[in-house]
């Protein structure tokens, strides 16, 4: 019954969004032929699942402001935070179909739609924050992945730092995979993330982000893995008091747009959005760093203890996943090696 209701709700949402497009939707611009002079003003809808006090929402507001400024008011972006239009899988489907214009989603969620995104969830593929930034800003492989889904209904036009991901539990410090034996750890709905937690000794439990707090509170899961802001913005620190820096992943958030919408915009409109995305991505790095510092301080006041450990046992446990990943196909080898070439 719950599944039927979910399907029905998604259908209603799709119809509502289509009906809401109105005369100022991007779909009205098909006949403009890409001319910047004839392009009509458009209002685009961008969905994401974070609360309004989250640093990513702050940066998406900057994206919206800069896009309007860059286009002299010709392009506006309306934000729908808090999962208003559905969880990540839902909004990716809506973007693919052209019902929704844009979304900010985790690269892990995109893995279910294009296997090339699996590399972003591969544990310890990024060996530091500096390595992560270097790859995301300068890698040709990243851009190839972002553009590789054009025929599937969407493309990536930018990314936002979502921090490092580590393990947090109700009250248990985890210093090695042995400490995670039998522990039910929430993961994103990513096959790579599931395999990662298995390799790290835990029992992976995929579920939507919105279910994590209650599941921790009720003991449905023993822990989760995310960055420090989850403890404060989503109040997980109320029910999880031990945060261990395994730093097993740096999974970016990806800004995706509907191919159907993108192709109907003029070149000037596309540039206004792309330039705004690039600028907001860069400033987001500082926004994120400040947010992490504030989250740690607030979490400690909530009674959360942060543990720094020797990560080598976790790195050793996860390394075979690198070999498995590369053995799948030559594209994986190319992307993995290209990512590692950015190490300095």
Pair 66, 98 in one domain: yes
Pair 100, 202 in one domain: no
In a domain, 271, yes or no: yes
- Of residues 242 and 12, more confidence is placed in 242
Give the tens place of pLDDT for each residue, 182-223.
999 999 888 888 999 999 999 999 998 889 999 999 999 999
Pair 304, 232 in one domain: yes
Helix (H) or strand (E) holding 76: strand 75-80
pLDDT above 70 for 275: yes
In a domain, 17, yes or no: no
Average pLDDT, the chain: 90
Q: What is the mean pLDDT of residues 33-37?
A: 44
Question: d(Cα 252, Cα 164) in Å, to the nearest integer?
Answer: 9
In a domain, 34, yes or no: no
In a domain, 31, yes or no: no
Query: Residue 38's pLDDT band (boundaries 50, 70, 90)?
Result: low
pLDDT confidence of residue 39: 77
Give the tens place of pLDDT for each residue, 163-181.
999 999 999 999 999 999 9
Give the tens place of pLDDT for each residue, 107-135.
999 999 999 999 999 999 998 999 999 99
In a domain, 98, yes or no: yes
Pair 153, 179 in one domain: no
Domain range for 263 is 42-162+252-292
In a domain, 25, yes or no: no
Query: Residue 36's pLDDT band (boundaries 50, 70, 90)?
Result: very low
Pair 154, 271 in one domain: yes
Pair 102, 120 in one domain: yes
pLDDT confidence of residue 28: 44
- Of residues 171 and 35, more confidence is placed in 171
pLDDT above 60 for 9: no
Query: Residue 3's pLDDT band (boundaries 50, 70, 90)?
Result: very low
pLDDT above 80 for 136: yes
**What 3-state DSSP class applies to 148?**
coil
Pair 238, 269 in one domain: no
Question: d(Cα 230, Cα 212) in Å, to the nearest integer?
Answer: 10
In a domain, 71, yes or no: yes
Pair 55, 124 in one domain: yes
Q: What is the mean pLDDT of residues 46-55?
A: 92
Q: What is the mean pLDDT of residues 247-252?
A: 96
Pair 194, 308 in one domain: yes
Pair 313, 176 in one domain: yes
Pair 131, 148 in one domain: yes
**What 3-state DSSP class applies to 41?**
coil
Provide the domain count of the chain. Answer: 2
CA distances to 60, 87, 186, 230, 280 from 210, in Å: 20, 8, 11, 11, 26
CA distances to 11, 78, 116, 338 from 191, in Å: 27, 32, 12, 22
In a domain, 1, yes or no: no
- Domain of 226: which CATH number? 3.40.190.170
User: What's the pTM?
Assistant: 0.83
DSSP 40: P
pLDDT above 80 for 341: yes
Pair 104, 189 in one domain: no
């Amino acid at each position: 019954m719950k599944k039927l209701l979910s399907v029905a709700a998604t259908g209603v949402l799709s119809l509502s969004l289509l009906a809401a497009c109105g005369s100022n939707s991007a779909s009205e611009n098909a006949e403009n032929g890409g001319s910047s002079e004839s392009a009509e003003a458009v209002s685009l809808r961008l969905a994401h699942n974070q609360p309004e006090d989250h640093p990513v929402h702050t940066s998406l507001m900057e994206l919206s402001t800069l896009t309007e400024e860059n286009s002299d008011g010709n392009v506006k972006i309306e934000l729908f935070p808090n999962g208003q239009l559905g969880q990540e899988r839902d909004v990716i489907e809506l973007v693919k179909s052209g019902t929704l214009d844009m979304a900010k989603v985790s690269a892990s969620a995109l893995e279910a739609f294009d296997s090339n995104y699996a590399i972003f969830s591969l544990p310890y593929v990024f060996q530091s924050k500096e390595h992560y930034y270097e790859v995301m800003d300068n890698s040709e492989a990243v851009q190839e992945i972002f553009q590789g889904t054009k025929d599937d209904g969407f493309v990536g036009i930018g990314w936002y730092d979502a921090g490092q991901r580590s393990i947090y539990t109700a009250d248990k410090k985890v210093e090695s995979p042995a400490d995670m034996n039998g522990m039910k750890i929430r993961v994103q709905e990513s096959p790579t993330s599931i395999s990662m937690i298995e390799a790290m000794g835990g029992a992976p439990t995929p579920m939507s982000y919105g279910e994590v707090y209650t599941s921790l509170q009720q003991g449905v899961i023993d822990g989760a893995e995310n960055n420090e802001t989850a403890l404060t913005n989503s109040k997980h620190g109320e029910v999880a008091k031990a945060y261990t820096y395994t730093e097993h992943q740096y999974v970016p958030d990806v800004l995706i747009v509907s191919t159907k919408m993108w192709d109907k915009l003029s070149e000037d409109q596309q540039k206004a959005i792309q330039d705004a995305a690039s600028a907001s991505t860069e400033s987001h790095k500082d926004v994120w760093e400040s947010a992490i510092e504030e989250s740690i301080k607030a979490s400690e006041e909530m009674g959360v203890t942060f543990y720094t450990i020797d990560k080598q046992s976790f790195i050793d446990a996860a390394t075979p996943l690198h070999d498995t990943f590369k053995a799948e196909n030559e594209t994986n080898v190319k992307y993995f090696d290209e990512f590692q070439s950015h190490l300095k």
